[in-house]
Amino acid sequence: MAERKTNVSALIAVLACPWLLVAGTCVLTAVSALMEEYPGASAGAVSLISTLPGLTMMVASVAAGILAGRFGSYKLWIIATGIVVAVTGSLPSFVTSFYAILVIRALLGFGLGMVFPVTNAIIFELYDGEERTKVLGWHSASQYMGAVVYTMAGGILSRVYWRYAFLIYLAALLPTLIILFFLPRVSRTVSPVAAQIESHHSRTIPSHGIFYLFLEFIGFVFIFPFSLNISVILKESGMGDSVMSGLVLSVNTIAAALAGLFFKQIYIRLRNYTIPLSFFACALGMFVLFISEHLILMFLGSVLCGMGISAFTLGIISTAGGFLGAESIALFSGLMSASSSLGTFCTSWYISVIERLGFTDARTPILGCAILFAAMTIITIFSELHFNNRQNTQFPAKN
């Protein structure tokens, strides 16, 4: 009974970890007010309020992947992360200098960047096999639900006063307290199987691991044009305004959360083909969004894209767990987080290239994404056939 209580407490703490990733979109509603408050700042400088944390997140993700667990326990790292997020996230509510706010937002990125690699390391230390896959999926679902709650709360607070939107970061203190009291002390350990793997790789990422990091980057470059262009597409086609676009995006987030909730069943059935079929779901979703002239198709495309990108990301980390030891999984998670952040940052460049080629219609980048996701489906099918002889430590073959 005591062991079961400990397991439940640890699970509660693990599912609280993604709530430290206070959604960056919770302050987007304050951007227009920021431009009025600081008329001397350019639109590009004001946009850094939301994009700058993403850049420093990349650095912090890699650093945390290397250092976490070597210097202090994972529990200590994740608690420190929660404090950094709460303090640096809420400080702009009380700071008047625009450039000071930018510096603080950059520091916030360092806190946010540590969450993903440290949390994954905790999950990989606490759970094995199918149980690990299930918890990874639940962890992802918890993250998406947190994003919805934080975004709504940020919007409500910003309506009162734009500085209040930053106060939502104080909510990171609640999961920090849950982690403090419920998460057992987790330090880096090496099982016999992991030790054998690490003796071959010496804490390096093998070639197929690098390939998966590239896939993570590509996936996030080509999934975000949907989020950026959906409001324009709905308005131009007469299907709705910003409220409707928000609803379509909410359906996307809910679908991603559901994919995480049932990821264990998905991964057990698809195994190494989870990634190719996730790409296919994204390709199909993007194509449906491109051709849709009715809201029902918009919602269908949104659901397919949400489920696809969620299963794709979880598929990468779950598959990587089969060939990476304990010494490498935190580093891989950090590099994976950096890849997704870089991909998101490069989305605007992809759209700019499409526009410079003369394709100004908001749907054209969506079609390009559908074609590229379809191409990645074929590529990853062959890559999985090539890599399928790797050792699978998560689901050993049964005699």
In a domain, 340, yes or no: yes
Report pLDDT digits (tens) over 229-240.
777 788 788 887
pLDDT at 230: 79
d(CA 252, CA 226): 10
Question: Phi/psi of residue 113, each to 5°?
Answer: -65, -20
Q: Which residue has the higher pLDDT, 192 or 186?
A: 186
Q: Say if residue 177 is in the same domain as residue 200.
A: no
pLDDT at 5: 45
Report pLDDT digits (tens) over 280-307.
999 999 999 999 888 899 999 999 999 9
Q: Give yes or no for residue 192 having a pLDDT over 60.
A: no
In a domain, 46, yes or no: yes
Q: Say if residue 69 is in the same domain as residue 142.
A: yes
Tokens 């990171």: give the residue: 172
Q: Say if residue 280 is in the same domain as residue 157.
A: no
Using CA atoms, how far residue 377 sits from 192, 210, 316, 381, in Å, is 35, 18, 14, 6
Tell me the average pLDDT across 67-81.
85
Q: Say if residue 201 is in the same domain as residue 121.
A: no
In a domain, 265, yes or no: yes
Q: Give yes or no for residue 186 having a pLDDT over 90.
A: no
Q: Is 97 exposed, middle or buried (0-12, 13-18, 19+ CB in 10 A)?
A: exposed
Q: Which two tokens stand for residue 321?
A: 């767990």
- Residue 26: band (very low, low, confident or very high) from pLDDT cuts 50, 70, 90: low
The mean-pLDDT minimum among 49-53, 106-110, 145-149, 375-379 falls in: 49-53
Q: Which domain holds residue 203?
A: 196-387
pLDDT at 384: 79
In a domain, 395, yes or no: no
Q: Say if residue 129 is in the same domain as residue 164.
A: yes
Task: Give the number of other CB atoms < 10 A from CB of residue 132.
Answer: 19
Among the candidates 136, 158, 188, a domain finishes at 188
Q: What is the CATH number of the domain that holds 238?
A: 1.20.1250.20
Q: Which two tokens stand for residue 136?
A: 């990874």
Q: Say if residue 162 is in the same domain as residue 14.
A: yes
Q: Say if residue 132 is in the same domain as residue 209.
A: no
Q: Which two tokens stand for residue 147?
A: 């994003």
The mean-pLDDT minimum among 22-36, 125-139, 359-373 falls in: 22-36
In a domain, 183, yes or no: yes
d(CA 279, CA 308): 6
In a domain, 93, yes or no: yes
What secondary structure letter does DSSP report for 392?
A: -
Tell me the average pLDDT across 99-122.
90
Tell me the average pLDDT across 67-87.
88
pTM: 0.79
Report pLDDT digits (tens) over 159-177.
788 788 888 899 899 999 9
CA neighbours closer than 13 Å in the CB half-sphere of residue 70? 10
Kindly calculate the radius of gyration of the chain based on its CA atoms and give it in whole angstroms.
21
pLDDT at 23: 60
In a domain, 116, yes or no: yes
Among 268, 269, 270, 215, smallest CA distance to 380 is for: 215
Tell me the average pLDDT across 63-83.
86
Q: Which residue has the higher pLDDT, 261 or 244?
A: 261
Q: Which two tokens stand for residue 64?
A: 């945390």
Q: Give yes or no for residue 313 having a pLDDT over 70.
A: yes
Domain count for the chain, please give it: 2
- Residue 393: band (very low, low, confident or very high) from pLDDT cuts 50, 70, 90: very low
* Orientation angle between helical segments 326-356 and 295-320, nearest 10 degrees: 150
Tokens 């793997």: give the residue: 197
pLDDT at 239: 83
Cα of first residue to Cα of last residue in the chain, in angstroms, is: 32
Q: Is 392 exposed, middle or buried (0-12, 13-18, 19+ CB in 10 A)?
A: middle
Among the candidates 188, 207, 234, a domain finishes at 188
Among the candidates 159, 188, 217, a domain finishes at 188
In a domain, 392, yes or no: no
Q: Say if residue 204 is in the same domain as residue 245.
A: yes
The mean-pLDDT minimum among 9-13, 37-41, 323-327 falls in: 323-327
Q: Say if residue 184 is in the same domain as residue 201.
A: no
Task: Give the number of other CB atoms < 10 A from CB of residue 191.
Answer: 13
- Residue 216: band (very low, low, confident or very high) from pLDDT cuts 50, 70, 90: very high
d(CA 317, CA 275): 10
Q: Give yes or no for residue 245 having a pLDDT over 60.
A: yes
Q: What residue spans of the chain are helical by DSSP H?
A: 2-16, 31-37, 43-67, 74-90, 98-126, 129-160, 173-182, 192-201, 207-236, 242-261, 263-270, 274-291, 295-320, 326-356, 364-387
Tell me the average pLDDT across 360-389.
86
Rounded to 10 degrees, what is the CA torsion of 62, 188, 316, 246? Answer: -70
Q: Say if residue 50 is in the same domain as residue 117.
A: yes
d(CA 280, CA 304): 9
Q: Say if residue 44 is in the same domain as residue 159.
A: yes
Q: What is the mean pLDDT of the chain?
A: 82
Q: Say if residue 295 is in the same domain as residue 333.
A: yes
pLDDT at 217: 93
